[in-house]
Amino acid sequence: QPTWVDPAFPMKELNTSHYPATRAAKVAEHYLNYHHGSPSKWFMVHAIERATSEDIPEVGTKYHIQFSVQEQATKKIVENCIAEILFRQTEGQSTPEVNCTCDDLLKIKTSDADHALYHHIKHQPHLVTGTDIPDSQGNIPKEMEPLWYLGGIGASFIMWQQSNESTLYNMAHIHNVKQLNSENDLLAFDYVVLLHEMVSQVKKKKNHSSICPSII
Amino acid sequence: MRCLVVFCGLVVAVFNQKLFVGDQVLRVTASSEEQITLLKELQDLEHLKLDFWREPVKTALAVDVHVPFAGLQAVKAFLESNGIQYRVMIDDVQMLLDEEKEEMFRSRDRDRNTNNFDYASYHTLDEIYSWMDSLEAEYPDLVTKIQIGSSFEGRPINVLKFSTGGSNRPAIWLDTGIHAREWITPATGIWSAKKIASDYGRDPSLTAILNTMDIFFEIVTNPDGYYFTHTSNRMWRKTRSINPGSSCVGVDPNRNWGAGFGGPGTSTNPCSETYLGSFEHSESEVKSIVDFILGHGNFKAMITIHSYSQMLMYPYGYTSTETPNQQELHTLAKSAVDALATLHGTKYSYGSMITTIYPASGTTADWGYLNGIKYSFTFELRDTGRYGFLLPAEQIIPTAQETWLALMKIMEHARDNPY
């Protein structure tokens, strides 16, 4: 059981319903997805149990979040995740620094499903493509789901990079995805996604290519 | 008229069978007593299977006879050779029956459409407006459709009034679809409106509400935007009003209300998603509601429904000052989200808008509260970002069902705490 961190600076208890906690938790979500997500494993924050923040003079604000996540494919809930998120005081945007412990999360094994997908795609006669995921009605063809997850995982990297205390990002839509030619064993995809930023309500079109981890 | 009665009888008897192809109905005019006698003899010829709709009685009255196809030639020859005048009144009985049946199904569809309506899918503006007419027609003692204004592009702004009588009773306002891309909200609105209509007289609590209060429900609060999301850009949010001097279209209708107008969480850039408009209530979509509610003068609750984030919020969004009713609204919000969670376990957070989601000025619920409507709430429905605005249609009914439980808590509280 991870212990609650003992802060060096005055700590403020946060309301878990209020946006400072939810925005910080969302950053942890993006971090987890980038590091541990796969086409069969995508996490969303389920509940925030406790949240505190400390203002570190001339550095920034550090958040401590105790939360649970839910894996979207299996619906499995992973409790006892603890994250430290540091938003630095910088001129422009800087990627939040995240430390996250979520032991039970690593116990969710999807390597079989991931391998199966890898082989399925590798042995397709043509390069895989997809468009408009989900469609206007929220539909996603079954065979597109792994590409949707993969798009979400890749987008998590960008969303993590773009986040600060005044943002809350989600991937709104995959405009299109194209598998790229690759000489080696890696599978690579080019995505055009739409990100939704909640505070400004802005939709941002982003291209992420070759950022998607290869499926091994 | 008599024709119609007979036809209905025929349809019931025949039901889907094509027995009358080529049959005709002849209107025969006898000009003498001899001719009347001849026609009576014709009646006796059973093998012809003639069906006299109007019997031969006297020369002044025309005789209508349904003649099966097989006997047509013989009958016409008989009439002609005896100089008896006739004309073909119905050219093909089966064709008429087919048309009539189609019309019956069509009118059945119109009259009972709200029972056949597919609540588990997203609908176009036309479909929703047509459904409103059906609801009004189906529950004439309860539902009235009122047009409270027109959108920028000239579309009617319609509100469904649920009332069991009285005069200017204390009222509850509900709106969905103010932001165009939040499709789950009008979908929830349609389901909920049908729920109100069908639960009256069945559910004791809802019945008690409608026995003392009126409910006004605006399903598509931003019809131009909604139409645009179907035809051009699924992610459109604002109205579609033209901004003079800018190539960017639209105002954020949830920043256009006269409540801390121009404060935090708004933009003065017409290209922004949170553009507040050139002045408060500049948008006809907003002004229509303002005028309607102020003109009515007796609203006690105002519930405005958005997506997504799974939140239930009370005022304020424009300032961190707490309302005098903070405690009561907080407790009510808690009971509403607890009720919501009982159905499918969906977790909502709750609190004032400014603390829960972000500072936002010129919003609907803040305006309601500042104009004396104590129970003013903002919902953010499913989900929390997995699908976001593109919530799958299969989640419509579960979302509507759970949201209903929260709405009932608020409406019951308004009923039980008059002020």
pLDDT in tens, B240-292: 999 999 999 999 999 999 999 999 999 999 999 999 999 999 999 999 999 99
Q: How far is A59 from chain B (nearest CA, A)?
A: 24
Distance of CA A176 to the CA centre of its chain: 19
CB contact under 8 A, A198 and B357: yes
The rounded distance, in Å, linking the Cα atoms of B47 and B70 is 10
What pLDDT is recorded for position A9? 76
- The yes/no answer to whether this complex scores an ipTM above 0.90 is yes
In chain B, what residues touch A42 (CB-CB under 8 Å)? 386
Mean pLDDT across B174-196? 98
A66-118 pLDDT, tens per residue?
999 999 999 999 999 999 999 999 999 999 999 999 888 888 888 899 999 99
Instruction: Select from B216, B191, B222, B221 the least CA-distant residue to B300.
Output: B216
- What is the average pLDDT value for chain B, to the nearest integer? 91
Mean pLDDT across B27-53? 87
**Catalytic annotation, residues of B:** 380
Q: A5 or A145: which carries more pLDDT confidence? A: A145
Q: Any idea which of A30-34, A186-190, B52-56, B357-361 has the lowest mean pLDDT?
A: B52-56
Transcribe B45-100 into DSSP letters. Answer: -GGG--EESS----TTS-EEEEE-HHHHHHHHHHHHHTT-EEEEEES-HHHHHHHH
CB of A207 within 8 Å of a chain B CB? The answer is no
Q: Pick from B387, B396, B397 the residue to mutate for testing the A interface (most A CBs within 10 Å).
A: B387
Collapsed DSSP state (helix, strand, coil) of residue B375? strand
CB atoms within 10 A of CB B208: 13
pLDDT band at residue A210 under the 50/70/90 scheme? very low
Reported pTM: 0.82
For A131, the token pair is: 């468009």
B80-129 pLDDT, tens per residue?
989 999 988 888 888 877 777 676 655 555 545 899 999 999 999 999 99
CB atoms within 10 A of CB B83: 11
A55 strand-pairing partners: A61
Q: B19 or B163: which carries more pLDDT confidence? A: B163
What pLDDT is recorded for position B164? 98
Instruction: Select from B269, B235, B237 the least CA-distant residue to B252.
Output: B237
CB of B199 within 8 Å of a chain A CB? The answer is no
CB of B384 within 8 Å of a chain A CB? The answer is yes
Transcribe A72-137 into DSSP letters. Answer: TTT--EEEEEEEEEEEE--SS--PPEEEEE-HHHHT---HHHHHHHHHHHHT-SS--EEEEES-TT
What pLDDT is recorded for position A4? 63
CB contact under 8 A, A194 and B235: yes
Q: In what order do the strands lie in the sheet with A43-56?
A: A11-14, A43-56, A60-71, A77-88, A97-101
Q: Pick from B228, B233, B390 the residue to mutate for testing the A interface (most A CBs within 10 Å).
A: B390
CA distances (Å), origin A84, targets A53, A68, A81: 9, 14, 10
Collapsed DSSP state (helix, strand, coil) of residue B288? helix
Amino acid at B233: N
Q: Pick from A74, A132, A199, A201 the residue to mutate for testing the B interface (most B CBs within 10 Å).
A: A201
B288-302 pLDDT, tens per residue?
999 999 999 999 999
Instruction: Name the closest residue on chain A to residue B237, using Cα atoms.
Output: A201
Burial class of residue B96 (count of CB atoms within 10 Å of its CB; 0-12, 13-18, 19+): middle
Q: B60 or B339: which carries more pLDDT confidence? A: B339
Select from A16, A137, A196 the Cβ nearest to the Cβ of B122.
Answer: A137
CB contact under 8 A, B386 and A44: yes
